A and B are shown apart, each in its own frame.
Chain A
Amino acid sequence: MKLRALAVLLLATGAAQGYYHFLQYAQRDGRLTGLPQRFNLDALTARTVPFFISRGPDKQAPTDSLTSLVSQIELAARQWSDVDTSELRLQFGGFTDAGAQAGDAPGIDIVFEEVPPGLIAVAGPTVTGPARVGDGFVPVRRSMMILPKDMSNLPSHAEATFLTLVHEFGHTIGLQHSMTSSAMATQLTRTQSKGNALSADDVAGVSILYPTRAFRSNLGSIKGRVAEGGSGRPLASVVAISASGFAVGALTGPDGTYLIEGLPPARYIVYAHPLPPAQGGESTPANLRLPLDRNGDTIEPGSAFELLFFPGVRQHNDATQIPVGAGAVIDDVNFQVRSRDPLRLYNVLAYSFPGQLAVRPAYVNVNGTRNFFVATGIGLLDGEQPASDLRAAIVGGATGVSSVESYSPGFLRFNLVYSDDSGVGPRHLVVSTPTGVYVQPRAFLLATQQPPRIEAISVGDGGTLVLSGTGLSPQSRIFFDGAAALIRSADADAGTVTVEPPPGPSGHRAIVTAINPDGQNSLFLQNDAPPATFLEAPTTFGISISPSRLPAGSESVVEINGTNTGFVEGRISVGFGTSEITVRRVWVLSETRLLVQVRVAPQASLSPVTVSVRSGLRTFSAPGAFAAGSSQPSRLEITSTSTNASTGIVSGPAGGTVVLLVGGASGSAPPKITVGDIDAAVSTLAPSIYSVQLPAELPTGPALLRVQTADAESLPLAVQVEGPTPRILEITTLGGLNVDSQRPVQPGDSILLRLNSPVKATNPFEKIRATVTVAGVDHLAQVTDAGTVRFTLLPSVAAGAQPMTLRVNGRVSVPETLAVRY
């Protein structure tokens, strides 16, 4: 059982071999490679796929509203956008007419269709034409999410609805079902909740398709083969589970090989098992759209086999614990399996009782009195009793199953024993009978307290609301429908939280939910009668847009002016209802004024579109307020290399320089360039390429850049004038020791960076993405409360004086040197 730990990156391996994406196999570089269906990031504005919501359902649950539903859709999309190791972003793109034909530009269409009774939602990608073998993927043209016209059984506040939306969004971006109780799990086995919507497996699934550079350097991989005799077993599921609760899986390819990526550094047990049987009325197991071979024929899974832990053992206690480090690839984790009768033990679903109703995911409070969960599953019971010789064990922490007994019809009770170091978080359940073994990854979760409960909502000062209840703390997040509230203060002892609610339509009834850091939320106890409040807002409002037309094939800015709009930075999204007109960035200039940088596709339709502005729970729409115009080939075109890596916006500090390529500019004299209506100093670097000094007096924020020659001029473009370039002032260990050539750090060390100004979000709703690049290796980093940056040095960094930069939300610091030793 020799393992090969390869301290190399997987940068060259292509994408997604054997994973659970929508796959088509093709010969590439002399070997069979799985080509996943995914969006082409290079074809997107700011790496963002807009999603469009058609008119809305015809019918909703009593007291429910389209406002509430749209906010939940936005929140569900944000789960995928916020993945640190994925480049892909999802953004509200506006409302559309369901009957209209979608354009060819990338997008996700959410439509409300006439669906038969019994069907609630389906989603998936639309692809066009053959696979791009050279690029290693099949480009997704559009994706569809179908929801029912009649949503009266799907109240938008319910966790079931929210997690359905999260799951369906996963399909729209290219994920299929997993076998790890994740948001993309195929069975009712998933243990995600509103506060913890994605698992490591979901994160891996999306990151494989749309990886940042940090994905493969910060996470590890396991690869191997599942075979019977000499033949590889296609579509076997291989799952790596850690005692700390991670579970990440993959499916084998046609030759039985597999590759599990996205493993957080930890020690893992790995097991291989067959997919559960195909369901009645379906032609595939696990409801998977099976991969296609190079001839376009479906690759079928083989027969069932006995679950085995690596290295080929039946008991998890005998399994090898495989250490996986950041950036490491552990090879030769192979399985020799034997065909056997169809599975008799699978699909274990666990529930707990924080109140009087059973709840999934099952959270067991180690400080509570109910030290058990109940479960059902295929093969678990013999009549109403546990199946003969049923054994159960827990992987993870010092928790065990003391006994299993019958509970209520169809359910067993699993009594747990803990110790002081049982810890918290997901735990894996291993059940076995003489006929087989089954592992339910993340079957339940350990917690140290009860879910939060909101008992009352009262009016506070200055437009705030005061929530009182139990389990509320400063770390709680409060949502009004799907929109986050701003927490002003919290008193854990008094059980109160004072919040500033998101803006909403006047009289809107919003469901209020509290989510705690452990993932439990108030719906666990209050799903049937969740607390609600009514929001107040001016009843007269409106927006206008100027200019109302931009030429096809251009990028420029428009200004949106409103009345009683109450725009707040971080809460705004703008959509044009078509992916031919996309938004690169929105700036809030005031409560009634937005600046929006817009890109109009060359092939854009010239028909007027509806402009929609989302502000918290409010939507301001201006039907027919904007249209693409005919292209203007004589116009000067501006492109730049001085752009923010996240947004693609030209950026630089006041007094600093940016480089512009001005298409259409001719002659030896540089063009006249103004920034914020101030003449900028311009020097010619090469024909049509200019260095432009941003005027020193410009304030931080957006400024309009214009280029003019004797013959032509550009459309205005927004430049983000930044504060001073971030500079690393101090490099220390966690213990506070300075790091320098006399005191170098080594891989595995945690390092703190202090900058010239603390790293802070520009608004309470901004997500900070921080990456430290050392010797070309990206390290995921966290920003501390004090505004310093913390990261752990990866083993792939060589010894010596290594260049280091910090990137925060696309801004890059001045390079520094990090002393590294081994």
Chain B
Amino acid sequence: MGMLRALTVCFAAGLAAHATTLEKLSLNDMANKATEVVRAKVGTCSAAYRGRLIYTTCQLNVTEFWKGADRKAVTVSVPGGKVGAQSQNFAGAPALLPGKEHIFFLWTGPSGMTQLLGLSQGLLGLEQLPNGQWMALRVPGSARMLDASGRAVRDDGVDVPLIDIRRTVLLRSGK
């Protein structure tokens, strides 16, 4: 039993997934894997087919640029949306609400499309404390998470001062 206690609790057998099944990324992972990290407000959004999938693409009006080329605006695409009379629903895909401000960890793939890192993981809320300090928030996710070897792991969430996240990202982006 002592041997068991000494083991990290890792998960050998499987669990069913979520609508969105996620691989857990640490803040450092996200900072490393993101091609762009911005603080931005959601602008206008529109949906269009890409192959057989509908993606909703939103313009982000950037207020701070932490990683990637410095631009005033970027776009991000999220699976699901409505095109004409056809709508695709992907439970778990975040709904980006125009006017809302977030920290976005973005990833642009070889196809040129920019998406959120790990969907909800790459989207941090912002909250200002009474003392004026800004916090970046993501409560522990309900989405199923796997580690890099395919094992299920816990999501511990994010709740850290914005300044710390900014520092982490800037350190890894060489800025």
**Given A144-B52, A188-B152, also A408-B9 (CB < 8 A):** yes
CB distance from A130 to the nearest CB of B (A): 8
Among B21, B97, B138, the residue within 8 A (CB) of A280 is: B138
Contacts of A177 in B (CB 8 A): 18-19, 91
Contacts A279-B120, A289-B89 given; does A164 touch B17 at CB 8 Å: yes
What is the bound-complex CA distance between A157 and B170, given in angstroms?
39
Is there an interface contact between B10 and A122, defined as CB atoms closer than 8 Å? Answer: no
Whether the pair B16, A185 counts as a contact (CB closer than 8 A) is: yes
A413 to B, closest residue via Cβ: B5
Of B7, B91, B119, the contact of A118 (CB 8 Å cutoff) = B119
Cα-based distance from A277 to B140 in the complex (angstroms): 10
Contacts of A102 in B (CB 8 A): 52
Stretch at the interface among A107-115, A243-251, A536-544, A793-801: A107-115
Chain A stretch 98-146: residues in CB contact (< 8 A) with chain B: 98-99, 101-102, 109, 111, 113-130, 141-142, 144, 146
A122 to B92, CA, bound (A): 8
Asked whether, in the complex, the Cβ of A279 is within 8 Å of the Cβ of B143, the reply is: yes
Question: Which label, helix, strand, loop or mixed, suits the secondary structure of the A interface?
Answer: loop
B160 at the A interface (CB under 8 A): no
Query: Nearest Cβ distance between residue A22 and chain B, in whole angstroms?
Result: 6
Q: Is A187 on the interface with B (CB-CB < 8 A)?
A: yes
Nearest-neighbor residue (CB-CB) of B113 within chain A:
A114
**Which residue of A has the minimal Cβ distance to B35?**
A116
Interface of B is mostly: loop
The answer to whether B122 and A118 touch across the interface, beta carbons within 8 angstroms, is yes
Selected from A159, A280, A288, A407, the residue in CB contact (under 8 A) with B13 is A159
B107 at the interface (CB under 8 A from A): yes
Report if A168 contacts B (CB, 8 A): yes
Q: Is A287 an interface residue (CB 8 A)?
A: yes
Contact B9 A374 (CB under 8 A): yes
Are B150's CB and A287's CB within 8 A?
Answer: no
Residue pair A119, B17 in contact (C-beta under 8 Å): no
Interface string of B74-99 (1 = CB under 8 A from A): 00000110000111111111110100
Complex Cα spacing A365 to B120, Å: 37
- Taking a contact as CB atoms under 8 Å apart, the answer to whether B85 and A129 are in contact is yes
Contact A279–B141 (Cβ < 8 Å): yes
Nearest chain B residue, comparing its CB with the CB of A143: B88
Contacts of B15 in A (CB 8 A): 159-160, 163, 188, 190, 192, 360-361
Give the shortest distance, in Å, between B20 (CB) and chain A (any CB): 5
Given contacts A119-B20, A281-B121, contact A194 B14 (CB under 8 A): yes
Query: Does A524 make an interface contact (CB < 8 A)?
Result: yes
Query: Which residue in B24, B94, B107, B152 is a CB contact (below 8 Å) of A281?
Result: B94
Quick check: is B117 within 8 A (CB to CB) of the other chain? Answer: yes
User: From residue 145 to 183 of chain A, which have CB atoms closer than 8 A to chain B?
Assistant: 146, 153-155, 158-164, 166-168, 171, 176-177, 182-183
B142, A347: Cβ atoms closer than 8 Å: yes
Most chain-B CB neighbours within 10 Å: which of A129, A142, A527? A527
By the criterion CB–CB under 8 Å, are B79 and A527 in contact?
no
- Give the distance to chain B from A347, nearest Cβ to Cβ, in Å: 7
- B33 A162 Cβ-Cβ under 8 A: no
Cross-chain contact of B16 among A163, A289, A355, A410 (Cβ < 8 A): A163
Look across to chain A and name the residue whose beta carbon is closest to the beta carbon of B110.
A114
Given known A-B contacts A188-B15, A280-B123, A361-B13, A117 and B23 have beta carbons under 8 A apart:
yes
Q: Flag if A186 contacts B18 (CB, 8 Å).
A: yes
CB of B111 within 8 A of chain A? Answer: yes
A117: contacting residue among B118, B120, B140, CB under 8 A: B118
Contacting pair A124 B19 (CB below 8 A)? yes
Residues A359 and B11 in contact in the complex (CB < 8 Å), given A171-B91, A283-B94: yes
Q: Are A408 and B8 in contact (CB under 8 A)?
A: yes
Which B-chain residue is minimally distant from A353 (CB atoms)?
B4
A111-B52, A117-B107, A411-B9 given as contacts; is B120 within 8 A of A281 (CB)?
A: yes
Contact between chains at A118 and B22 (CB < 8 Å)? yes
Q: Are A117 and B25 in contact (CB under 8 A)?
A: yes
Residue B56 is within 8 A (CB to CB) of chain A in the complex: no
User: How distant is the Cα of A587 from the Cα of B117 in the complex, in angstroms?
Assistant: 47
Are B88 and A164 interface neighbours, CB within 8 A?
no
Do B9 and A351 touch across chains, with their CB atoms under 8 A apart? yes
Assess the B23–A153 pair: CB atoms within 8 A: yes
Known: A119-B20, A163-B16. A124 touches B5 (CB 8 A): no
Q: Which 10 pairs from chain A and chain B are nearest by CB?
A: A118-B118, A159-B14, A280-B138, A281-B123, A281-B120, A164-B17, A160-B14, A163-B16, A120-B21, A357-B12
Please list 23 pairs of residues, one from A and one from B, whose beta carbons are closer than 8 Å in the complex, sorted by A's number.
A114-B109, A116-B115, A118-B121, A119-B20, A119-B119, A125-B89, A126-B54, A127-B86, A153-B150, A158-B14, A171-B90, A187-B142, A188-B154, A192-B15, A194-B14, A197-B16, A279-B142, A280-B123, A281-B119, A287-B20, A358-B11, A378-B140, A410-B154
Q: Give me the interface of B with A, judged by CB distance under 8 Å.
A: 1, 3-5, 7-25, 29-30, 33, 51-54, 79-80, 85-95, 97, 102, 107, 109-111, 113, 115-125, 137-146, 148-152, 154, 157-158
Known pairs A118-B29, A283-B95, A351-B11; list 6 more (Cβ under 8 Å). Answer: A116-B118, A126-B88, A160-B17, A163-B17, A167-B18, A356-B7
